[in-house]
Amino acid sequence: MKTFPMFLRMAGRRVVIAGGGEQAAQKARLVLKTEARLVLLAEALDDELSALVVAGRAEQDEGTPTPESFAGAALVFIATGCTERDAALAAMARAAGAVVNVVDQPELCDAFTPSIVDRDPLVVAIGTEGAAPVLARQVKTRMEEMLEPCLGEFVAMAGRMREAVARQVPARARRAFWRWAFSDAPRRLHATGAEREAAKVLKQAIAEGGAPGERGEGLISLVGAGPGARDLLTLRAVQRLQEADVIFYDRLVDPDVLELARRDAERVFVGKEVGACAWPQERIDAVIVAAARKGQRVVRLKSGDPGVFGRATEELAAARAHGLTVEIVPGVTAASAAGAAMGRSLTERGETDRLVLATGTCRDGDAAPDWGTICIPGTTLALYMGVRKACEIQHSLLAAGVPAASEVEIVCSVSTPQERHVACRLGALAATIAEQEVSNPAIIFVRYPKTRIEPLAATPPARLAAVG
């Protein structure tokens, strides 16, 4: 290591920033996260910095810089925006004994500001000694995903309880207590907004002399994995994956997404190929319940949003029938992702003010949907599982009075490397699906606007095959 990472105590200490523009303001924002006394060494300040002075959060030193300006400072940042002036001031500050950081001039720096993940009092500082700033950003992004936004408040609360823990939890049980606090029910409750519950659970455990049981209660999370791309998962979904003991996942869940799970979590494929039900729903219900009853943290990972054509109702009911805690972690449903991929809004003021998510594949024996009431003027119809039923759907929609010229857009495997777009008119839906060999998973949009039926795009965007 050429540099040594340290956390400096800042309360009441002087930090000098030389400069009055945006670069100086960036450093000021950073310094003001601490309790340091900020001095702005500049004749003129921009609006943001002046406002800080007016608000009493910083003081301005307008004088000509002398070694005295820097004496006794805990840190000095030089950010005048003028290379020569920066170098001269840096030399002066260093001669006065200060630790100096010069913006964008690493060779003049005694100290570097790291990339910071701020969950105060938990602070993660990432540095690469200037070798790979982009990597530092990537690490930062991963950490931001891992650490829920409100974690700082939870850490602060835990900190306030340290004394009580030291008094009431015997030394041999303390480590387990904190492990439990930061990885189990208390943190989980806090992360989902139940701060009071989290505090209550912690206090109760302290009163009882330690963390409850070996592993705590089992929990089933029905987690939305989004349409495929792993950066379309929510932060909460990633957290559940990282806490999971066992993950039951679907056919449509991308392998990339599973990589977000803890390395030693068990992964069980419970995919259903259409028609071939190696894993009928009841069997899935039974295995997730059995795992949770063993006290395991269970993630049932489903493509898109668990609550959209995801058989979540059965799994919720099975869990509740056994008195197990079960939650849904929402995900980006295929229709949303496909809308984004098409670069258009699924609703359009005045034209389509209804968005209907419907499935083309109902339960065997159920009557076909009444498309006439579903697809009225002003509707964007997003059809899930519609490819195999395209012929029936096309004829039913036409019979229900939906114009044959209505725009249809089909998006296959949205957000994956296989993503494909096909456009046609409703009158040509089934033929297009056959000719273009459209395969699952695909979402079919039918636009039935109030007044205006768009002509098909003359020059289709890349990846978009237009068919008449």
What's the longest Cα–Cα distance across the chain? 88
Residues in CB range of 180: below 8 A, 6 or more apart: 186, 205, 211, 212, 216
Binding mask 181-220 for ligand SAH (x = CB under 6 A): ----------------------------------------
In 3D space, the residue among 463, 441, 466, 447 whose CA is nearest the CA of residue 408 turns out to be 447
- Whole-Å CA distances, 349 to 371, 378, 450: 22, 9, 10
Nearer to ligand SAH, 252 or 318 (CB): 252
Q: Least distance (Å) from ligand SAH to the CB of residue 325? A: 22
Residue 414 binds ligand SAH (CB under 6 A)? yes
Residues 359-378 that bind ligand SAH (CB under 6 A): none
Q: Least distance (Å) from ligand SAH to the CB of residue 304? A: 2
Provide the token pair at 405: 């010229």
Phi, psi for 2 (deg, rounded to 5): -90, -20
Whole-angstrom distance, CA of residue 460 vs CA of residue 422: 10
Residue 380 binds ligand SAH (CB under 6 A)? no
Nearer to ligand SAH, 246 or 338 (CB): 338
Provide the token pair at 247: 């993950």
Residue 301 binds ligand SAH (CB under 6 A)? no
SS3 of 247, please? strand
- Out of 310, 339, 427, 449, point to the residue binding ligand SAH (CB under 6 A): 310
- Out of 228, 339, 427, 449, point to the residue binding ligand SAH (CB under 6 A): 228
Whole-angstrom distance, CA of residue 419 vs CA of residue 414: 5
Whole-angstrom distance, CA of residue 183 vs CA of residue 412: 38
Phi, psi for 273 (deg, rounded to 5): -75, 140
Q: Least distance (Å) from ligand SAH to the CB of residue 249? A: 13
Provide the token pair at 34: 């601490």
Residue 223 binds ligand SAH (CB under 6 A)? no
Residue nearest to ligand SAH (CB): 304
Nearer to ligand SAH, 154 or 309 (CB): 309
Provide the token pair at 219: 């929990």
- Out of 46, 440, 460, 465, point to the residue binding ligand SAH (CB under 6 A): 440
DSSP code of residue 383: E
Catalytic residues: 250, 272
Phi, psi for 180 (deg, rounded to 5): -60, -45
| Enclosing H/E stretch for 466 | strand 464-466
Residues in CB range of 408: below 8 A, 6 or more apart: 423, 424, 425, 426, 428, 429, 432, 444, 445, 446, 447
Q: Which residue in the block uniquely carries the two structure tokens 């409703």?
A: 426
Nearer to ligand SAH, 43 or 231 (CB): 231
Whole-angstrom distance, CA of residue 111 vs CA of residue 9: 15
Residue 303 binds ligand SAH (CB under 6 A)? yes
- Out of 411, 423, 426, 438, point to the residue binding ligand SAH (CB under 6 A): 411
Considering only the stretches 289-297, 373-381, 405-413, 449-457, report the one whose residues sit in contact with ligand SAH under the rule CB under 6 A.
405-413
Q: Least distance (Å) from ligand SAH to the CB of residue 359? A: 7
Nearer to ligand SAH, 164 or 362 (CB): 362
Residue 253 binds ligand SAH (CB under 6 A)? no
Binding mask 322-341 for ligand SAH (x = CB under 6 A): -----------xx---x---
- Out of 27, 37, 188, 302, point to the residue binding ligand SAH (CB under 6 A): 302
Residue 252 binds ligand SAH (CB under 6 A)? yes
Provide the token pair at 118: 């701020």
Nearer to ligand SAH, 177 or 371 (CB): 371
Query: What are the residues binding ligand SAH (CB under 6 A)?
Result: 227-228, 252, 302-305, 308-310, 333-334, 338, 384-385, 411-415, 440-443
